[in-house]
Amino acid sequence: MFDDFSSSYIIQHYNYWMVIVLMMIGLYIVVSRGNLVKKIVGLNLFQTAVFMLYISMGKIIGGTAPILTGNPDEVYSNPLPHVLILTAIVVGVATTALGLALIVRIRERYGTIEEDEIADIEQEIDRRESA
């Protein structure tokens, strides 16, 4: 196990390390930040890391775009993961847009986009209701 874990092993898989680091940064921001916009930014980072995972898995070193050139020896990258990620990017954009739209509405009603202040206001509503 540790024989595998040499510096060349790390370097050969550097794209995956980058994906893992980016993904964890994103997830950490979502969990740790109280600002709703920052949470959305974290969510974006998290999703982008997954896009990179897909894109790098389809890429072949020296491979070109998959276009018929008439040359049978042409090396080309696998287009399918790339196309899948086009779909996932659209989904990501829609999620971000909806998240930001919700934040605008939250700001209008609560006057803040800080999670702890919103929680205080909601507790206040709860108290008023049960009184």
Residue type, 44: N
Round to whole Å and give the CA distance between 81 and 77. Answer: 10
- When binding is defined by CB under 8 A, the residue of 87, 116, 127, 131 that contacts other proteins is 87
State yes or no: residue 30 binds other proteins (CB under 8 A).
yes
Contact segment (CB under 8 A) with other proteins among 6-14, 62-70, 94-102 equals 94-102
- When binding is defined by CB under 8 A, the residue of 38, 57, 82, 112 that contacts other proteins is 57
What's 74's DSSP letter? -
State yes or no: residue 53 binds other proteins (CB under 8 A).
yes
State yes or no: residue 39 binds other proteins (CB under 8 A).
yes
Q: Determine the 3-state secondary structure of 75 from DSSP.
A: coil
State yes or no: residue 130 binds other proteins (CB under 8 A).
yes
- Phi-psi bin for 54: left (phi > 0), alpha (psi -120 to 50), beta? alpha
Taking alpha carbons only, the member of 74, 49, 76, 73 closest to residue 60 is: 76
How many residues bind other proteins (CB under 8 A)? The answer is 32
Distances, alpha carbon 130 to alpha carbons 35, 45, 70, 120, 122, in Å: 29, 41, 76, 16, 13
Q: What are the residues binding other proteins (CB under 8 A)? A: 27, 30, 36, 39, 43, 46-47, 50, 53-54, 57, 80-81, 84, 87-88, 91, 94-95, 98-99, 102-103, 105-106, 109-110, 118, 122, 125, 129-130
